[in-house]
């Protein structure tokens, strides 16, 4: 609108030029020369070290170029196999699954905000993309200055909603230097992304030691948030600040233990509880027994909030049922699988097991000093709606969320920086892989294929194949994400 106005066009374009802005549909770009001096300082710092650093990066970039093709080819085959063997499943909103998906495919374009990425994770996602992009371009810029290529400026952009960065180099200088020098510059971006991912992984690994003066670990899983619709919400549920130490007979020392215990509980059959014959007779009361649609048996009133149907067996009958108050049965009871686990002191006892619907479990959650929480439902619902941390603050004024923020952000940096390295290494038009491939062919095939035109034809065919491979992965990946 402003450009079409005769009275405002000139002043508008002058304003854009003054502030280094460029605006077009779905794209905003800002470029500045303010950081040029800093880039030149970095590019001239310890020349021998930088030569070795970017030479290692060159080797890594070449290996990454071939590796990315293998990775994308394998990912494409897996996606096609999944499409042919089963209906696509909606991806979960859990951040960990997003990270694993990115790492396995190397395609952060598969992450669609609001579809398979929770809104609460958007800040991490976009911040990690921006930092990964800046580090990527810093690598190019410093390497270019190291190879005596003129540096014009640095900038950032927003394309639709995705942020990124770029450096402006003098093209003529780039064309005059040798192919090996070009490789050091073109490979520096993916190399710096790889280093950023490794550094983030090391921080994630050493986080307990880094935060040791302020937080301690290994004592349980600290509840940091309970969703409003969570089945763990309630007067006898979990609260922020509670420390979970056990799930059934599975000890919990960290969030990883919490997840593995829930997974183990969901995969195995429901555990039982030892109950003496006298107590069983005292607590049970007559109830009508009927079968549910899935074949399981119910013997309690549907309106009861405290009683659960338990099954047990004796020497005469292996299918007996009793409606019992759950908390009285479970508290101070030993976990069991069969009646043999309950035989002691010659007291007749039975192993009573909750008779619940398939995939539903009765889980005893210990979070002392509070009374144990008894949860009835699918274990994964408990996992999805309760946020926990392995870090327990040593002082009350310390935040519960700080370790979680650092941990989550490191995971996003690892995955997105790694994805950016993989994508840019692909021999594809308009990506770093295009220039890496061209320089690599010039450096290796100039003696075998003398005609430059023929070398360019070989490069064009490889780029065409790489572009098609990347496009197929992105298209199928987005389809798998959005399909229901």
Within 8 A by CB and 6+ apart from 480, the residues are 79, 82, 83, 88, 91, 110
CB atoms within 10 A of CB 211: 19
pLDDT at 352: 93
Q: What is the pLDDT of residues 209-232, one digit of tens each?
A: 999 999 999 999 999 999 988 999
Retrieve residue 383's tokens. 């996992």
Alpha-carbon torsion, ordered 55, 59, 64, 66, to 10 deg: 140
Per-residue pLDDT, averaged over 110-134, amounts to 79
- Are residues 351 and 338 in contact, defined by beta-carbon separation less than 8 angstroms? yes
Q: What is the pLDDT of the chain when averaged over all its residues?
A: 88
The residue with tokens 């921006």 is 130
Tens of pLDDT along 269-287? 999 999 988 888 888 877 7
Tell me the per-residue pLDDT of 98-119, one tens digit each, with 9 for 90 and over: 333 444 333 444 455 555 567 7
Q: Report whether pLDDT(330) > 70.
A: yes
Angstrom distance (rounded) from CA 222 to CA 255: 8
Question: What SS3 string covers the chain?
Answer: CCCCCCCCHHHHHHHHHHHCEEEECCEEEEEECCCHHHHHHHHCCCHHHHHHHHHHHHHHHHHHHHHHHHHHHHHHHHHHHHHHHCCCCCCCCCHHHHHHHHHHHCCHHHCCECCCECHHHHHHHHHHHHHHHHHHHHHHHHHHHHCCCCEEEEEEEEECCEEEEEEEECHHHHHHCCHHHHHHHHHHHHHHHHHHHHHHHHHHHCHHHHCCCCEECCCCEEEEEECCCCCCCCCCCCCCCCEECEECCEECCCHHHHHHHHHHHHHCCCCEEEEEHHHHHHHCECCCCEECCCCCEECCCCCCCCEEEEEECCCCCCCEEEEEEHHHHHCCCCEECCHHHHCECCECEEEEEECCCCCCEEEEEECCCCCCEEEEECHHHHHHHEEEECCEECCCCCCCHHHHHHHHHHHHHHHHHHHHHHHHHCCCCCCHHHHHHHHHHHHHHCCCCCCHHHHHHHHHHHHHHHHHHHHHHHHHHHHHHHCC
For residue 483, the model assigns a pLDDT of 66
CA distance 74 to 61: 20
Tens of pLDDT, residue by residue over 362-376, are 999 999 999 999 999
Please give the pLDDT value at position 44.
95
- Segment 277-326, tens digit of pLDDT: 888 888 887 778 888 888 889 888 766 788 899 999 887 777 889 999 99
Q: How confident is the model at residue 86 (pLDDT cuts 50, 70, 90)?
A: low
**By C-alpha distance, which of 255, 321, 317 is closest to 284?**
321
pTM attached to this predicted model: 0.82
* Residue, of 430 and 88, whose pLDDT is higher: 430
Residue 345 pLDDT grade (very low, low, confident, very high; cuts 50, 70, 90): low
- Tell me the CB-side half-sphere exposure of residue 279, using CA atoms within 13 A: 19
Residues designated catalytic: 137
Name the one residue in this structure whose structure tokens are 């593995």. 260
Distances (CA, A) of 313 to 338, 339, 349: 9, 8, 10
Question: What's residue 310's pLDDT?
Answer: 93
């Amino acid at each position: 609108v402003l450009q079409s106005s005769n009275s405002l066009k000139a002043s508008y374009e002058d304003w854009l030029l003054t502030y280094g802005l460029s605006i077009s549909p779905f794209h905003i770009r800002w470029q500045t020369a303010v950081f040029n001096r800093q880039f030149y300082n970095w590019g001239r710092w310890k020349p021998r070290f930088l030569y070795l650093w970017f030479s290692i990066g060159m080797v890594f970039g070449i290996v990454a170029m071939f590796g990315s093709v293998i990775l994308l080819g394998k990912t494409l085959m897996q996606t096609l196999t999944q499409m042919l063997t089963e209906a696509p499943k909606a991806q979960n909103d859990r951040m960990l699954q997003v990270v694993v998906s990115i790492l396995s495919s190397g395609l952060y374009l598969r992450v669609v905000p609001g579809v398979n990425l929770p809104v609460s994770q958007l800040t991490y996602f976009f911040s990690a993309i921006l930092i990964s992009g800046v580090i990527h371009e810093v690598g190019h810029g410093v390497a270019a200055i190291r190879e005596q290529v003129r540096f014009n400026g640095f900038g950032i952009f927003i394309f639709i909603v995705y942020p990124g960065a770029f450096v402006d180099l003098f093209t003529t200088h780039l064309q005059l230097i040798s192919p090996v020098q070009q490789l050091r510059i073109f490979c520096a971006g993916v190399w710096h992304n790889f280093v950023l991912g490794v550094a983030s992984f090391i921080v994630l690994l050493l986080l307990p030691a880094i935060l040791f003066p302020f937080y301690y670990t290994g004592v349980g899983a600290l509840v940091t948030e309970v969703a409003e619709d969570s089945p763990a919400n309630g007067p006898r549920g979990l609260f922020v600040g509670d420390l979970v130490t056990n799930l059934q007979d599975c000890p919990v020392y960290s969030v990883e233990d919490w997840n593995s215990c829930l997974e183990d509980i969901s995969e195995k059959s429901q555990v039982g509880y030892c109950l003496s014959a006298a107590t069983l007779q005292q607590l049970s009361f007559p109830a009508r027994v009927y079968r549910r649609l899935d074949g399981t048996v119910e013997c309690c009133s549907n309106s009861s909030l405290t009683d659960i149907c338990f099954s047990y067996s004796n020497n005469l009958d292996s299918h007996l049922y009793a409606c019992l108050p759950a908390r009285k049965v479970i508290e101070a009871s030993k976990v069991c699988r069969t009646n043999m686990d309950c035989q002691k002191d010659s007291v007749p006892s039975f192993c009573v097991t909750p008779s619940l619907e398939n995939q539903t479990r009765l889980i005893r959650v210990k979070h002392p000093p509070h009374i144990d929480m008894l949860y009835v439902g699918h274990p994964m619902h408990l996992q999805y709606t309760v946020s926990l941390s392995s870090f327990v603050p040593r002082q009350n004024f310390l935040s519960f969320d700080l370790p979680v923020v650092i941990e989550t952000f490191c995971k996003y940096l690892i995955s997105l920086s790694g994805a950016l390295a993989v994508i840019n290494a692909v021999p594809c038009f308009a990506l770093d892989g295009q220039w890496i491939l061209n320089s690599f062919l010039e450096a290796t095939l100039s003696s075998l294929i003398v005609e430059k035109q023929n070398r360019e034809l070989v490069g064009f065919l490889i780029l065409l194949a790489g572009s098609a491979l990347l496009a197929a992965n992105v298209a199928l990946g987005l389809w798998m994400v959005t399909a229901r």
